[in-house]
Structure 1
Amino acid sequence: MTEIVGRYVDVDGVRTYYESAGSGKPILLMHTAGRENRQWQGVMQRLAPEFHCVAPDLPGHGKSWPLAGNVCLSDIESIQAWLWHFAQTLGLERPAVMGCSIGGNLALLLGARHPEVRAVIALQGAAHTPTFTDGALEMMTHPQVNLMHANLDFSMSLVGSAASDEARAFSEWGVLSIIPVAQQGDLRAYAHCDSRALLENVRCPVLIARGTEDWLVSQDMVEAARDGLTQAPRVELRALSGLGHFPHLEDAELVAGMAGEFLREIG
């Protein structure tokens, strides 16, 4: 089995934990809201023979330290800027960027903001995701709300029917280990994300893939993102049958195979 190595690096004053595996052209991997980089390990192990996979924990997530004052980033532009500083700190040259959910939105935004991005792979990714109300977001850190239990049914309903028992169990553990401030910050950024006007700035190949059983990110959302990529040299939209909101976790082999094929084809 491919070795995955964990390290720390300072990024904008944040002691940041990341995991890496393999060698070759780099891929920056971005986790879903409130979670951490472990959810990418299955994909990393499969891509590492050909690519250098790097997956950070955002500030205040997993093993990364929070920002000063014990807060997390909470707007999409600040998160993408921090991620780009992370990639620069590690010296990742012309990385492909790959993420899921808010990570998928971030992959599209990084492609729009940074011409050095070699390719975008967005799972459940869109440019406009008005999915959570401000009132619901405020409740996530209310002292009388236990977010991990309040969020369990919601999160598990997003997992597709084709997910393995192991993937389903790890998805549940991800909910049970949620850090409320991190979840709130990510979902605030996600709910207020609107980068539709920036999609025409993407000049690299793009693959958008959607689990067909995800009721949160609709087909209309991903099609709108695809249609906005008017200057990208190649745009693909794929349906992942039987998968839900977390395709990279639900079927790591399928997602790694799809991503590897796409990246090999674009060179």
Structure 2
Amino acid sequence: MIEASYVDIGGTLSYVEQCGAGQPVLCVHTAGQSGVQWRRTTEELAALGYRVIVPDLPGHGRSEPAPGGPVDDLGWYARWCVELIDVLRLSRPFVVGCSIGGKIALDVATRVGSRLAGTVAMAATAGPGRVSMNGLRRELEDIAAPSRTDRTYLGTLAVVGRAVPAERAELIATMHRREDPAVSTSDLLGWGSHDVRSGLADIGCPVHLVVGEDDLWLDPATVRATAEAVPDGRFTMLEGIGHYPMEELDGFPARLHGWLSEWAVKA
């Protein structure tokens, strides 16, 4: 059973779902979205023996806004995640994230890697993401443009993998329409500027970089290079999958369990 609560983290009343008992797994969502992206993961992963923690980052989903408004610094979110780990007293957690969540997971690993059992960063690299920073800043000046919702919907469809059934792809894109444009644009500014490459060599936990073969946002070679720069790094490319493995991939909880269980002895 999923238990939900509000926790004061970083000066923000933040919505956090938890399920199960066992080794903690902190799951971080993508730009503009919320923990709802893990709805098909939480209970199944908990049934495999984990305590699954799924927050809504400040300004997302059911969490209150960050104190200074929309955040364009993914390092701020990483510090927020470390505080969440401390407040919930999570011992040797795994941190799993996708897209900006993957970047945040890598950032957390550079900060407190020796306290983690491992990190899975999906759809992310350690360097700045490929976006038009000037274009995104212009959007913040005209954020109420009526076409923004449609662009989110169509853009999501464009980065879902070819192996995903059309009905599921449609559901993923429809769910993504819910995001707050000011928050998601700020998140993407963070995606385009975040850079933890200098800290990869000092990460004190194993890191697994995962990329979808059909992810138009990323070059798999760059993702692989990030994995190779981590002392205990590994790389997986998912055939026919795009930018959102936890939403696209059938049997994702079991796949994630397989990745995490490789580190069980080290945990």
Same fold (TM over 0.5): yes
Instruction: Find the residue that maps to 1:266 and give its secondary structure.
Output: coil
Give % identity: 28
Give the AA of the match of 2:12: V
CA distance in 1, matches of 2:250, 2:189: 27
CA distance in 1, matches of 2:184, 2:55: 16
Q: How many Å apart are 1:134 and its aligned residue? A: 2.0
Q: How many Å apart are 1:122 and its aligned residue? A: 1.0
CA distance in 2, matches of 1:265, 1:153: 37
CA distance in 2, matches of 1:81, 1:143: 27
Residue 193 (structure 1) aligned with residue 191 (structure 2): no
CA distance in 1, matches of 2:238, 2:215: 10
Match of 2:34 among 23, 36, 42: 36
Give the AA of the match of 2:145: V
Kindly report the root-mean-square deviation, in angstroms, between the aligned alpha carbons of the 2 structures.
1.6
Structure 1 residue ranges without an equivalent (≥5): none
Match of residue 117 from structure 1: 116
CA distance in 1, matches of 2:34, 2:250: 16
Instruction: Find the residue that maps to 1:48 and give its secondary structure.
Output: helix
- Equivalent residues, number: 260
Match of residue 22 from structure 2: 24
Residue 81 (structure 1) aligned with residue 79 (structure 2): yes
Q: Is the 8 A contact 2:208 2:235 kept in 1?
A: yes
CA deviation string 1:143-197 (max 9, x = no partner): 4523212332222100112224453233222332110121012111110011111
Q: How many Å apart are 1:30 and its aligned residue? A: 0.3
Residue 217 (structure 1) aligned with residue 218 (structure 2): yes
Give the AA of the match of 2:150: H
CA deviation string 1:72-111 (max 9, x = no partner): 2211211100111112111111110000011111111111
Instruction: Find the residue that maps to 1:17 and give its secondary structure.
Output: strand
Give the AA of the match of 2:255: M
Q: How does 1:56-135 map to 2 (within 5 A)?
A: 56-68=55-67, 71-114=69-112, 115-135=114-134
Match of residue 206 from structure 2: 205
CA deviation string 1:40-84 (max 9, x = no partner): 121212210210010100111000000235x12211211100111
Q: Is the 8 A contact 2:28 2:96 kept in 1?
A: yes
CA distance in 1, matches of 2:207, 2:129: 22
CA distance in 2, matches of 1:170, 1:5: 25
Instruction: Provide runs of 4+ in structure 1 moved above 6 Å.
Output: none
Q: How does 1:241-256 map to 2 (within 5 A)?
A: 241-253=239-251, 255-256=252-253
Match of residue 266 from structure 1: 263
CA distance in 2, matches of 1:139, 1:155: 21
Match of residue 50 from structure 2: 51
Structure 2 residue ranges without an equivalent (≥5): none
CA distance in 1, matches of 2:83, 2:182: 22
Give the AA of the match of 1:65: E
Give the AA of the match of 2:178: S
CA deviation string 1:99-129 (max 9, x = no partner): 0011111111111110211101111121013
CA distance in 2, matches of 1:247, 1:264: 18
**Structure 1 length as normaliser, TM-score?**
0.92
**Structure 2 length as normaliser, TM-score?**
0.92
